[in-house]
Structure 1
Amino acid sequence: MSELSPRLARLKFRAWHRGTREADYMIGCFFDRFHAEWSDEDITLFETIIEEEDVDIMGWALGTMSVPEEYRGPMIDRMMKLDYVEIPRD
């Protein structure tokens, strides 16, 4: 496993420290599953998206809120599949 760049390490931390467990799993698992295949443009988009409120990001991913025009595209489409969320069951 290769070490993350400082930029990606910051994003990983931010993705996994959202404020609620639900958002941590949704956004953190999304980052873990897909960041290695992202272009610089994708990384910049993710940096912007995760500055939004958790309820908005989760609403877009769950399809309960419409996605703002600036975020519509492959990243949010992929997030909406929800097949990347891994919830540990103790």
Structure 2
Amino acid sequence: MDAEIKRLRWRCRRGTRELDQLVGWWLDERHADADATLREGFAGLLEQQDPDLWNWILGNGSPSDANQARVIDEIRARNRV
């Protein structure tokens, strides 16, 4: 598990500090307690392009994957973006 967290932490490094902080928050605060489907959703989000990820966090659309959308909703709710 530790190697997976390190890999995800590296993938959380995005193009902007704000995006780094938002996805990093989910990894730090929610990943350990999340079920496998949410963890898969989070990993899938990290595969997306930064502009898409940023737009979803801002509320401009949402990912087609339901688990990714749930992670985005959690990020938005917690950080009031």
TM-score bracket for this pair, using the shorter chain length: 0.7 to 0.9
Alpha-carbon deviation of 1:82? 4.1
Instruction: Give the one of 39, 46, 49 matched to 2:42.
Output: 46
TM-score by length of 1: 0.72
**2:62, 2:69 within 8 Å by CA — same for their partners in 1?**
no
**1:30, 1:84 within 8 Å by CA — same for their partners in 2?**
no
Aligned partner of 2:29 in structure 1 is 33
Q: Report the number of matched residues.
A: 80
Aligned partner of 1:66 in structure 2 is 61
Aligned partner of 2:4 in structure 1 is 7
Alpha-carbon RMSD across the aligned residues, in angstroms, is 2.3
Gaps of 5+ in 1: 86-90
**1:35, 1:43 within 8 Å by CA — same for their partners in 2?**
yes
**2:22, 2:79 within 8 Å by CA — same for their partners in 1?**
no
Larger helix fraction of residues: 2
